[in-house]
Amino acid sequence: MHPPPRRLLLPLFLCLLPAVAWALLPPPRFPGPHARRAGVRDGVGGYEFDTRYFRQRLDHFSFSGGEESFQQRYLVGRAGGWAGPGGPIFFYCGNEGDIAWFAANSGLVWEAAPRFAALVVFAEHRYYGESMPFGSKEKAYNNSRSLAYLTAEQAIADYAVLLTDLKRNLSSESSPVVLFGGSYGGMLAAWMRLKYPHIAVGALASSAPILQFEDIVPQTIFYDIVSNDFKRESLSCFQTIKDSWKELDEQGNGQDGLLKLSKTFHLCQTLKTTGGLSDWLNSAYGFLAMVDYPMSSDFLMPLPSNPIKEVCRNIDKQLDGTSTLERIYAGVNIYYNYTGTVDCFDLDDDPHGMGGWQWQACTEMVMPMSSSESLSMFPPYEFDYASYADDCVKSFGVRPSPRWITTEFGGHNISAVLEKFGSNIIFFNGLLDPWSGGGVLKNISGSVVAIVAPLGSVPLVQTDAVF
């Protein structure tokens, strides 16, 4: 098993817990260019919204190539009752997936809005969901030239332009904007507050690993936290997973080994190498740590309450004589097939449309990750930038810029920097969430504060803490 860069990085996402919907009220009207399809209404997760599109400039930072544009999707919530011109706007900074998926799983934003008479807006990140430059995903993802505009800087600029135009069309230039986001979206919310303080008065950044770059935090922190989450449930489960990687490689290298592995794990296609299966298992363990809620959920997959406990229970309860890999399959089946409706597994499936993250990880979002021999249930692995960069060249024809994010947004000596230049940012982290290892876990100033849930996978926000 090889951790990133084969899969490069687990995608980052928000996991704010769903909440009970408030009474639904008529939405505000959006005049002018925002209403490409007037009256389009939709809803997910019990929350209702209008779907709108905004003509967004492809490149905000040059004047050399004309005025290419694309249609950016955004959702306008119909719950809460906006105060009207001058009233607050709660703006969710979309991350690496379909925006409706995040809207369905961000209960905090929906529940807080009525208390503040705020307008709710969920903006989709360029190159994800329906917000595809060049007219289609195939054209947008065609090569490094078409993907060149997929950056955090361009995405934040999209949000700034959208908000500015939105407020103008609502005759609400004085409306205070509070940014929301989680994981990558939380990073964008925090960074946008720093880069565009005249547009947003504050940000709530949940599970935002803004320190997961270069050598700011230990490179082993992500996999150490995942491992500890499993160890706290069952030491034998932890050890079975730790032992499984060697057995997987040995069986894969044996006669008909790949065919046997494909059958054991009920794969739709026969494996060509063990790497794809290793990545599939690696992803399951990481995602389980992110959504190890004490109640059932379906943010990533339909899952029971305390899913890591259930995975370990399935691994540990197998009869004597059950092989290690059969135990592993019984465990991960909780994550990938809790409903029991899946006949076989496609290792290349991308149900949430997060494929663009591989490009971002190969350009500016370089988060070095290693796994330790002693603390991790994953094979020991030392991050090697040279091989990482070579993989990116093979995949996309580009070499990463590993220091660009800290140059653009900061990260080193974060306490002194945010104390001097930052304000009105709340960082939320649950310490069972592996992304918390790269998060801000201590108060920095009176208005840059950290709220930590020691036994939380994803923090549940108290809305009266918002500005």
Check whether residue 61 and residue 205 sit in a common domain. Answer: yes
- In this predicted structure, the answer to whether residue 317 has a pLDDT above a threshold of 50 is yes
Mark whether 200 and 85 lie in a shared domain: yes
Q: Single out the residue in 306, 324, 349 at which a domain terminates.
A: 349
CATH number of the domain residue 67 falls in? 3.40.50.1820
Alpha-carbon radius of gyration of the chain: 22
The confidence score (pLDDT) of residue 150 equals 98
Residues 271 and 331 occupy one common structural domain: yes
Question: Is residue 324 predicted with pLDDT exceeding 50?
Answer: yes
Q: Give pLDDT, residue 243.
A: 97
Residue 232 lies in a domain: yes
How sure is the predictor about 106, in pLDDT bands with cuts at 50, 70 and 90?
A: confident
Q: Are residues 243 and 280 in the same domain?
A: yes
Q: Does residue 3 form part of some domain?
A: no
The pLDDT score that the predictor gives to residue 52 is: 97
Contact 271, 252 (CB under 8 A): yes
Residue 351: per-residue pLDDT: 62
**Token pair listed for 325:** 């890999």
Query: Does residue 226 share a domain with residue 135?
Result: no
pLDDT over 50 (residue 403): yes
CATH of the domain at 340: 1.20.120.980
Percent of the chain with pLDDT over 90: 78
The more confident residue out of 241 and 349 is 241
Local confidence band at 33 (pLDDT 50, 70, 90 cut-offs) = very low
- Do 136 and 276 fall into the same domain? no
pLDDT at 346 over 50: yes
CA distances in angstroms from 193 to 152, 157, 159, 247, 255, listed in the order given: 13, 12, 11, 48, 57
Q: Which two tokens stand for residue 426?
A: 């709340």
Do 190 and 112 share a structural domain? yes
- Whether 379 is covered by a domain: the verdict is no
> Residue 299's pLDDT is what?
79
Question: Is residue 18 predicted with pLDDT exceeding 50?
Answer: no
- How does residue 39 score in pLDDT terms, banded at 50, 70 and 90? very low
Q: Is position 343 within any domain?
A: yes
The reply to whether 25 falls in a domain is no
One domain for residues 192 and 233: no
Burial pattern 183-207, b for ≥16 Cβ within 10 A else e, equals: bbbbbbbbbbbbbbeebbbbbbbbb
Q: How far apart are CA 415 and CA 370, in angstroms?
A: 25
Tokens of 215: 């050598």
- Within a domain: 78: yes
Q: Which residue has the higher pLDDT, 37 or 245?
A: 245
Tokens found for residue 393: 């060249």
Domain boundary (323, 349, 375) is at 349
What is the residue range of 323's domain?
A: 220-349
Q: Categorize the per-residue pLDDT at 289 as very low, low, confident or very high, splitting at 50, 70 and 90.
A: very high
The average pLDDT across 155-172 equals 96
Q: What integer pLDDT is reported at residue 270 of this predicted model?
A: 96
**Cα end-to-end span (Å), the chain:** 45
Are 296 and 418 within one domain?
Answer: no
36, pLDDT greater than 60 = no
Residue 113 is predicted with a pLDDT of: 92
Strands (E), 340-386: none
Residue 271 resides in a domain: yes
Which pLDDT belongs to residue 11? Answer: 59
Helix (H, G, I), strand (E, B) or coil at 244: helix
Look at residues 314, 334, 349 and tell me which one is the last residue of a structural domain: 349
Find the DSSP H helices in 43-151.
99-103, 107-116, 137-140, 144-147
Q: Given this model, what pLDDT does residue 353 score?
A: 59
pLDDT of 135 over the 60 cut: yes
Q: What angle do CA 196, 127, 403 make, to 5 degrees?
A: 55
| Rounded mean pLDDT, 32-49 | 49
Task: Compute φ and ψ for 309, nearest 5 degrees.
Answer: -60, -40
Where is pLDDT greater, at 24 or 424? 424
Shared domain for 202 and 294, answered yes or no, is no
So what's the pLDDT on residue 63? 87
Q: Measure Cα distances from 269 to 184, 276, 318, 325, 346 in Å.
A: 32, 11, 26, 18, 7
Residues 6+ apart with CB under 8 A from 55: 33, 69, 70, 71, 72
- How many domains is the chain partitioned into structurally? 2
Predicted confidence (pLDDT) at residue 459 exceeds the cutoff of 60: no
Lowest mean pLDDT among 279-283, 353-357, 426-430: 353-357
Cis bond upstream, residue 5 (ω within 30): yes
pLDDT of residue 292: 94
Spatial contact of 218 and 296, defined as CB atoms under 8 Å apart: no
Residue 466, pLDDT score: 36
3-class SS at 225? helix
Task: Find the range with the poorest average confidence among 31-45, 55-69, 152-166.
Answer: 31-45
Average pLDDT for residues 344-353, to the nearest whole number? 76
pLDDT given for residue 26 in this prediction: 29
Distance CA 420, CA 427 (A): 17
Residue 424, pLDDT above cutoff 60: yes
Read off the pLDDT band of 131 (50, 70, 90): very high
Helix 307-316 and helix 221-233, axial crossing angle in degrees, nearest 10? 60
Tens-digit pLDDT profile for residues 376-393: 999 999 999 999 999 999
- Compute the mean pLDDT over every residue in the chain, rounded to the nearest whole number: 87
Shared domain for 175 and 226, answered yes or no, is: no
Is residue 381 domain-resident?
Answer: no
Q: List the one residue out of 182, 139, 132, 185 whose CA is nearest residue 159.
A: 185
**Are both 255 and 318 inside the same structural domain?**
yes
What's the confidence (pLDDT) of residue 30? 26
Top-confidence residue, 13 or 302: 302
Is the pLDDT at 427 greater than 50, yes or no? yes
Percent of the chain with pLDDT over 70: 86
**pLDDT value for 352:** 57
